[in-house]
Structure 1
């Protein structure tokens, strides 16, 4: 049976030990490494590329959000599941915006971790049942469009006020390519103009 390769990232040794103990009880999982920070995570990831990275959000130096951005840019096929304590719910939207496939509380049970891994592996979004998100929060997360790394770059530059020719020059692509991405962004956000695009991108924590 194929084993799902999982890398766990957390700056607390006790959390790493606890996650390893629970993951070792899931028969379809193989833990490929335990990292205490983003630097260790990237080294382990290069040595043995996992299918899923479960990462803490609130880490010193490089946060889980920044790590997720880097992983998704360099290894877009890797699934990322964010992990945090209950009072860090404000980070959910940022992690999802960076391409995370799920969100778990550190108090999650083995069964919940197992479900999160299966859901993420099926290209679906997993949200911890313990979060008790408000209807508006759930709707915001559901409505948030999924962007490619290039679309994210262009969205940020649009928000900073760059024109299509300026973006094209900065990214070494043609203005036609930028215009095509801009139209795709308007479609994905279901808006008619740049002002509406930036307004929603800010609301979703994407710029």
Structure 2
């Protein structure tokens, strides 16, 4: 779809300076690639993407201000023609599938060789869905608990989830949120049911994997 175009304009969104600079340096050596901007925070990139011609966004999932799954959807709403490629350390299949559901054109792991990253960029430019080799293996071997979508939780449940992560007691949470301990226990029970877990440790683990914490 980009045949005949002299330069492919690329934006990199990654809060690790070494990763971003290294990627920019490596892509600069590839004919036809032009990294036109680098952002450490996802929300900072949106005005630039709105105001400039961009072909590819290479996007980390873990960012300081927004998670990449949600940012991908926002980028695609600004310009559906932009190809978004995730470049992440996260290997959870549910996150890979959520990125694709939100319009991503591919998913790569940060340990992928540059040749594989370049190949993925070319593949998505041709209209395909591109995966690095390890990601293909992950997609082919889903865990049963990863087949469900990320549970939808309320604002209050998210507050309770954060306090559980911080190790707060039910009484402490009730005082902080100005509710009864019984209400906190109800939120705890609802969270565990939504995530299909039996204890707080499992709840925290799966919440971190799904970028809810």
Write out aligned runs for 1:26-45 (5 A). Answer: 26-45=30-49
Q: What is the match of residue 107 of structure 2?
A: 103
Write out aligned runs for 1:142-157 (5 A). Answer: none
Q: Separation in 1 of the partners of 2:134 and 2:121?
A: 16
Q: Structure 2 length normalisation: TM-score?
A: 0.61
Q: Separation in 2 of the partners of 1:48 and 1:124?
A: 24
The count of residues paired between Structure 1 and Structure 2 equals: 140
Listed one character per residue, the Cα deviations across residues 3-59 of structure 1 (whole Å, up to 9, x for unaligned) are 111000011111111110111111110111001111221132134221010000111
Q: What is the match of residue 140 of structure 2?
A: 135
Listed one character per residue, the Cα deviations across residues 106-142 of structure 1 (whole Å, up to 9, x for unaligned) are 11222111111111101100011023225354xxxxx
Structure 1 segments unaligned to the other structure (5+ residues): 138-155, 157-204
Write out aligned runs for 1:1-207 (5 A). Answer: 2-131=6-135, 132-133=137-138, 135-137=140-142
Q: Separation in 1 of the partners of 2:59 and 2:75?
A: 11
SS state of the match for residue 59, structure 2? strand
Tell me the CA shift for residue 87 of structure 1: 3.7
Q: Separation in 2 of the partners of 1:29 and 1:53?
A: 12
Question: Quick check: 1:32–1:48 contact (8 Å CA) kept in 2?
Answer: no
Question: Quick check: 2:11–2:38 contact (8 Å CA) kept in 1?
Answer: yes
Listed one character per residue, the Cα deviations across residues 55-102 of structure 1 (whole Å, up to 9, x for unaligned) are 001112211111111011121110000111154443101100001001
Flag the structure with larger Rg.
Answer: 2
Q: Separation in 2 of the partners of 1:27 and 1:130?
A: 26
SS state of the match for residue 70, structure 1? helix
